[in-house]
Structure 1
Amino acid sequence: MGAGRGTPCRRSAGRTLLSFTLGSLNVLGSIITVFITLVFNVRPLVLLAFATVYVVWGSTYLAIRFGIETIPPFFMAGVRFCIGGSLFIGWAIARGAKLPSNSLWRSAALVGVLMVAGGTGGVTWSEQFVPSGLTALLIAMVPLWIVLIDWARPGGSNPGSTVFFGLVIGLAGMTLLVNPVAVGGVREINPVGALALVFATLSWATGSVYSRHARQSSSQTITVGMQMVSGGVTLLCMSTISGELSQVDLARISWRSVMAVAYLIGPGSLAYAAYLFLLRASTPTKAATYAYVNPIIALVLGAVIGGEQVSAWTLLCSAVIITGVVVIVTAKGRAVSS
């Protein structure tokens, strides 16, 4: 594959950097765990799910970027979710679960098309054109979409002024944090990529609300697998229709892209399962607060791996974002399992 062997000095430096990165994420994870414990006051399983979604998904933006360096985006995402979903289904069957009925498959397929293909697939494709800062800003639209969709649906409830206030605070912090002019000096944004990201967030939010109320298998593991496989197959179809398959050259795929895809299949899939669990164990609005925290995780990774500086202004904006999250998760709402 594309990447060759590095010198012993480079390999040693790489191992040191990897160890430092993992150590930093471990410390950051501990801080987030304490934060969630104090604010959410939830049982351990829900706490673990929030920590997984907050930390792991914050690192997947970098993994996606590495993956699409040498692999076409729809094809990469399709392979990722087909393999990950198959592993979930296989694990569930090995533990005695039975394949659900056709009606449950249809329900899972709709969620997979909306969240996996439309949501994550849209983000993956957009990262070819849109700067990371603007990507993070537009992903922060997810909680707002979820609040509005959940409010507008039949039987939906008014989230209350406090939740809207928290959303405004969070979006304000995100705007200050990832101002396109301030991040990399980028002033011109690819409109097609930005529009695709808006569509991706809307598709993800719609799937999130639908998933909470849709009929599902008694096995959460097999439900996750069905959604991932359905979305993955859809992405592979999109890859075929768009002509991406003709661009796949196995000889040019780098080891960095391969390792990135492996990371997305492993920890990335577990984070997706944790998010689906939170949609039912908490509320869609609270589960979607990952969109405010993930960019902060991405900043830490950028500082550790990319050598980027984290300024006092960045820390201040991060504090504003966390304030918005606190307002949302402590608001009086329809929390189910606390």
Structure 2
Amino acid sequence: MLAPAPTAAPRSLIVLALLALYLIWGSTYLATKIALDVWPPFLLSSMRYLVAGTVLYGAMRLSGAAAPSRQDWGRAAVVGLCLPVFGNGGTTFAQQYIPSGTTALLVATVPMYLALLGWASGLSRRPNAKVLLGLVLGIGGLLLLMRTSSTASVLLPGHSLLGIGAVLVASFMWAVGSLYSRQKPVSGSPFVGVGMQMLCGGGYLLIIGLLHGEAATFHVAEVPLKIWGALAYLITFGSIVAFSAYIWLLRVVEPALAGTYAFVNPVVAVLLGWLFAGERLNTGMVGGAALIVAAVALVVLGGKQPQPRKLS
């Protein structure tokens, strides 16, 4: 059965939405790095999603959206565990050990996981030659990154493999959660569903942060204004604006076009880390970045569904 044709939308709005994904999601890695100077990782992610989820869910319910069912909350709880907890919580945890630019490059493996898991689960076609070539290039880029030592400062140096492993697990679980949410979506408004997922994920992250002992060493009164600004940016732009733009794009353009954020974000993150966070570039990082970006481009564009020709 063919997917419904995308709804016509003004080109200017499509361009603005794509720019929001490219620039905002690419810049959240730097904002996270700044916030981690004071906030512990799991409490930071918890605050981000609890506030964003409350605002989004509350706004949609006040605007007249139907109340979700118990089954909807169950599905949101599963996605909240995979995406906010493993996905964002894992990458935030990893940024204590590896630079923000490297984190973004590793997160760019999500489309590769989606291609393999989608095929294995029967949700998508078998990977074609372009996708397979992209997977090979992506593995090569990851190996190159793992062998490259960065000169960028990190909060907890000497554990880069732990950070790399955490991001790879986070990316894998993000792909799992994405496929699950596609197969078992929350009924009604997709914005209500996103708010529910954020609330569930934020609750999980709060429990994890408390069990991890983060509350004992963190004092809200000592958070400087700069750090509050970084957190506000993550909540407002990273979790509300960019997610809303992404959901809207999925309704009006081809998924392959909306998914191009996956290989633009790493470039933005690496450049911002170099410009503002002292994350120096070296030959190994540039080579790994080039391979991963090329790999994700092949996976995303190579997996684009062919459009049937219209009969005249």
| Both proteins in one fold, TM over 0.5 | yes
Of 191, 199, 203, the match for 2:161 = 191
Matched residue type, 2:108: A
Residue aligning to 2:64: 96
After TM superposition, the structure 1 = structure 2 runs for residues 136-285 of structure 1, keeping only pairs within 5 Å, are 136-169=104-137, 172=140, 180-181=148-149, 183-184=151-152, 189-269=159-239, 270-276=241-247
Equivalent AA in structure 2 for residue 157 of structure 1:
R
TM-score, length of structure 1 as denominator length: 0.74
User: Counterpart of 1:75?
Assistant: 43
Structure 1 residue 139: Cα displacement: 1.5
**Structure 1 Cα separation of the partners of residues 306 and 244 of structure 2:** 19
Kindly provide the amino acid, as one letter, of the partner of residue 301 in structure 1.
Answer: L
Distance 1:238 1:306, change over 3 A: closer
1:231-278 deviation digits (Å, cap 9, x = unpaired): 101100111111112222123212221111000001101223444555
Q: Does 1:126 align with 2:94?
A: yes
Give the letter for the 1:120 counterpart: N
Q: CA RMSD in A?
A: 3.4
Deviation of 1:131 after TM superposition, in Å, equals: 3.1
Residues 80 and 201, structure 2, Cα contact 8 Å, conserved in 1: yes
Q: How many residues align?
A: 295
Aligned counterparts of 2:175 and 2:250: Cα–Cα separation in 1: 11
Contact conserved, 1:170 with 1:325, CA < 8 A, in 2? yes
Q: 2:266 maps to which residue?
A: 295
Contact 1:133/1:183 (<8 A) preserved: no
- In structure 1, C-alpha distance between the alignment counterparts of 2:228 and 2:159, rounded to whole Å: 29
Aligned counterparts of 1:192 and 1:311: Cα–Cα separation in 2: 21
How far apart, in 2, do the equivalents of 1:128 and 1:330 lie?
33
CA offset digits 1:217-236 (Å, max 9, x no partner): 32121111111111101100
Which ranges of structure 2 fall in alignment gaps of 5 or more residues?
Answer: 1-7, 308-312
Q: Are the structure 2 counterparts of residues 120 and 313 from structure 1 closer, same or farther at C-alpha, using a change threshold of 3 Å?
A: closer
* Farther off after superposition, 151-160 or 55-64: 151-160
Summarize the Cα distance change of 1:191–1:271 in structure 2 as closer, same or farther, 3 Å threshold: same
The Cα shift of 1:87 comes to 0.7
CA contact (8 A) 1:135 1:197 kept: yes
Indicate conservation of the 8 Å contact 2:56/2:191, yes or no: yes
What residue is the counterpart of 1:24 in the other structure? none
The one-letter code sitting in structure 1 at the alignment partner of 2:223 is I
Assess if the C-alpha contact under 8 Å between 1:114 and 1:206 holds in 2: yes
Residue 80 of structure 1: how far off its partner (Å): 0.9
- Map of 2:310 onto structure 1: none
289-298 or 67-76, larger mean C-alpha shift: 289-298
Q: 1:80–1:264: 8 Å Cα contact kept in structure 2? A: yes
- Kindly provide the amino acid, as one letter, of the partner of residue 192 in structure 1: L
So what's the TM-score if we normalise by structure 2? Answer: 0.80
Change in 2 beyond 3 A, CA 1:61/1:153: same
* Deviation by residue 1:276-319 (Cα, 9 ceiling, x = unmatched): 55567677776554343212102332344347677899888766
* Matched residue, 1:13: none
Deviation, structure 1 residue 136 = 3.0
Find the aligned partners of 1:178 and 1:287 in 2 and give their Cα distance.
29
Offset, 1:323: 4.5
Q: 1:310 to 1:75 in 2, by over 3 A?
A: closer
